[in-house]
Amino acid sequence: MANNRVYYAIQQVSFAPNSSGISGIKNAAHGVQSCGLTTTFNLEQVFELGQLAIYENVEGTPDIEVTMSKLLDGYIPLYCLSTADQTNGPQLAKRCDSNTKTIVQLGIWDEAVEAAGQTVDASASTAQAWCEMSGLYISSVSYNFPVDDNFSEDITLVGNTKIWGSGQSTSAASCAAAYYPTGVHGQFGANNDGPVGTGGVNRRQNILFATGTVGWQKGSPATAVVTAALDEARDPDKTILPEDIPGIALSGAKDYAHIQSITASVDVAREELFELGAKIAYARPVTFPIEVTCDIEVTASSGDLVNAIDSCSGSASSCVEASNLTDRTIRIATCEGTRVFLGNKNKISSVTYGGGDAGGGNATVTYSYSTFNDFTVLHWADQIASGGSVSGVNWWKYRSDYLETRAT
Angstrom CA distances, 150 to 69, 153, 206, 333, stand at: 12, 10, 10, 15
Q: List, in order of start, the domains of the chain with CATH numbers.
A: 8-179 (2.30.110), 204-401 (no CATH)
- The helix/strand/coil state of 349 is strand
pLDDT, position 7: 94
Which residue in 355, 360, 401 sits closest to 378, CA to CA? 401
- Going by C-beta distance under 8 Å and a sequence separation of 6 or more, which residues neighbour residue 56? 46
Please report, in tens digits, the pLDDT of each residue of the chain (408 residues total): 688 999 999 999 999 988 876 656 688 999 999 999 999 999 999 999 999 999 999 999 999 999 999 999 999 999 999 999 999 999 999 999 999 999 999 999 988 888 887 765 544 467 888 899 999 999 999 999 999 999 999 999 999 999 998 754 444 445 655 555 556 778 888 889 999 999 999 999 999 998 764 333 333 344 444 455 556 667 899 999 999 999 998 888 888 999 999 999 999 999 999 999 999 999 999 999 999 999 999 999 988 999 888 876 655 566 667 788 999 999 999 999 999 999 999 999 999 999 988 888 899 999 999 999 999 999 999 988 788 888 999 999 999 999 976 433
d(CA 13, CA 116): 10
d(CA 379, CA 336): 9
pLDDT, position 10: 92
What's the distance, CA 81 to chain centroid?
Answer: 11
Q: What does R_g of the chain's alpha carbons equal in angstroms?
A: 25
Q: Which amino acid is at 204?
A: R
- Going by C-beta distance under 8 Å and a sequence separation of 6 or more, which residues neighbour residue 189? 115, 116, 117, 118, 119, 125
